[in-house]
Structure 1
Amino acid sequence: MTSLDPVPLSGRQPRAVRNALAVLEEVIASGPGVTAKEISAALKLPQATTYRVLNLLVAEEYLVRLPDLRGFALGRRAARLALPVTPALSTAVRAVVDHLRGLVRWGVHLASFSTGQVILIDPDPDHPPSDGHVLARYPQVTALGKLLLAEQPDWRALVRDLRPFTEYTVTSSAELSAQLKVIAKVGLARQCGELRADRGCLAVPVRGPGTGSLVAGLALCGPVQRVAESNDELVGLLRDHADRLAPLLA
């Protein structure tokens, strides 16, 4: 057996996987607040098995215990099991993004973070971005992705592979952690040639009014040398339009 060969499943493991999937399905079908006893009865599973599976799914953040500890609901990671759905954008949202595009020669992209991934909901048609699956799988190499990671209690939950795309890609956990702390503090993400050596991006968060929660990100993408420059005017435009988008996307 080589290091690339899968580890053989023992006799009990396929059953354990099926039980975990069945419990997830039951929580989805029953809705938030379903109890361990109700899940056990519905699936005809021993209570000890049900509790064991629930504890595992909670530990892995596929489920969460409700505040009163009497039931369960879907957790953060469960949202990543569904295919992302691009929401329909209002005319007002498109007008704000198009206005920014008319003021700059850079690519302007709007992304949603509602699924816990970077999902482009209004990519610039004149400056096509990288493939969506790359943006979602490797958020650490994009400015929009760095915004998302900077909000996480532990960014490692969303980044499983610090692979290099270019010689400028950050592949050190310590360096990435330091970057994300700065981004969280200043509300501006910048990447210079980390995904494509000749391109870079600036991105600012779009936050829900009142709650301050991160709902989207607005990015400018252009030549890497321009991104690396001090560009207060461009950043000001970016922040102004992100503020205009906030009430429209909340």
Structure 2
Amino acid sequence: MTGPGGPPISGRQPRAVRTALAVLEEVVAAGPGVTAKEISAALRLPPATTYRVLNLLVGDEYLVRLPDLRGFALGRRAARLSPVAVPRPSTAARAVVEHLRGMVRWGVHLAVFDGGRLHLADPDPDHPPSDPDLLARLPQASALGRLLLAEQADWRALVRDLRPVTGATLTDPDELAELLPAVARDGLAAQTGGLRPDRGCLAAAVRSPADRRLVAGLALSGPAGRITDPDPDLVALLRDHADRLGPLLG
């Protein structure tokens, strides 16, 4: 992509610009870690064209390569085009989260849902959660992500990558389809060992009192073995604090 001092635009260049913008849009839609193969298939572009455009965008810092995820994410210059700030919870909402942290020895994380995306709004500083990019990219692998998927008319639109992170990561779409109705019914999701072999997570839905719309998720993270059969009192405590957050976030 040539800067302002480059050569004049030729007749073919507008098409190339549109292709580059379409690739950027697909990276935004798919989330961090989307691969060249996935982009090529989604946009119906020849692989050679896709790789050429990706290399140009990486070279100009609109995209970056993510070696751990084997894909791409927005780079420094793309982030400047439309900065997305994670909403900061109100003082009252943060107080509710802190209150729960003071009552349990587990990690307590608050995520907000916006436009089909998961954003960690208040991660526990004493119990760091999994990589936020990984949580956004693989919603089926986390309890918070499953809350989000369970609310979708078509959850497949948000699940673009079913690769495993650990041996316990959910990768079977049929299994996920069977799981989500219960998550939607109960407003409660769990995962064990899907992101870290020795850790698990239990998440409760936070809903707006006005229309019962899902606005956030409140999660407890702890030993995987404790998630499989959680203490009913702990679940009740999580639900109670999620209910308190509804009026503050909805």
Same fold (TM over 0.5): yes
Counterpart residue number, 2:105: 105
User: RMSD of the TM alignment (CA)?
Assistant: 2.5
Deviates more, 1:187-196 or 1:112-121: 112-121
Q: With the length of structure 1 as denominator, give the TM-score of the two structures.
A: 0.68
Deviates more, 1:177-186 or 1:198-207: 177-186
Is 1:201 aligned to residue 201 of structure 2?
A: yes
Give the CA deviation at 1:246: 0.6
One-letter code aligned to 1:190: A
In 1, the alpha carbon distance for the partners of 2:179 and 2:97 equals: 27
In 2, the alpha carbon distance for the partners of 1:13 and 1:155 equals: 37
Counterpart residue number, 2:147: 147
One-letter code aligned to 1:140: Q
Residues 182-230 of structure 1, C-alpha deviations (whole Å, 9 max, x = no match): 1111111000001111000000111111211110000000000011114
Counterpart residue number, 1:222: 222
1:84/1:115 contact within 8 Å kept: no
Residues 79-107 of structure 1, C-alpha deviations (whole Å, 9 max, x = no match): xx955311222211111000000000000
Counterpart residue number, 1:18: 18
In 1, the alpha carbon distance for the partners of 2:160 and 2:116 equals: 14
Counterpart residue number, 1:158: 158
In 1, the alpha carbon distance for the partners of 2:239 and 2:17 equals: 46
Kindly tell me: are residues 171 and 87 of structure 1, through their superposed partners in 2, closer, same or farther at Cα, counting changes over 3 Å?
same
Q: 3-state SS of the aligned residue for 1:109?
A: strand
Counterpart residue number, 1:192: 192
Give the CA deviation at 1:245: 0.6
Counterpart residue number, 2:84: 84
Residues 26-66 of structure 1, C-alpha deviations (whole Å, 9 max, x = no match): xxxxxxxxxxxxxxxxxxxxxxxxxxxxxx9xxxxxxxxxx
Structure 2 unaligned blocks of 5 or more: 1-10, 23-42, 44-80
One-letter code aligned to 2:155: W
Kindly tell me: are residues 224 and 82 of structure 1, through their superposed partners in 2, closer, same or farther at Cα, counting changes over 3 Å?
farther
- How many percent identity over aligned positions? 64
In 2, the alpha carbon distance for the partners of 1:209 and 1:159 equals: 28
Task: Report the number of matched residues.
Answer: 184
Give the CA deviation at 1:14: 6.5
In 1, the alpha carbon distance for the partners of 2:17 and 2:224 equals: 46
One-letter code aligned to 2:84: P
Q: Which has the larger radius of gyration?
A: 1
In 1, the alpha carbon distance for the partners of 2:220 and 2:113 equals: 17
List structure 1 segments (4+ residues) > 3 angstroms apart after TM superposition: 11-14, 19-22, 81-84
Structure 1 unaligned blocks of 5 or more: 1-10, 23-55, 57-80
Give the CA deviation at 1:165: 1.1
1:190/1:200 contact within 8 Å kept: yes
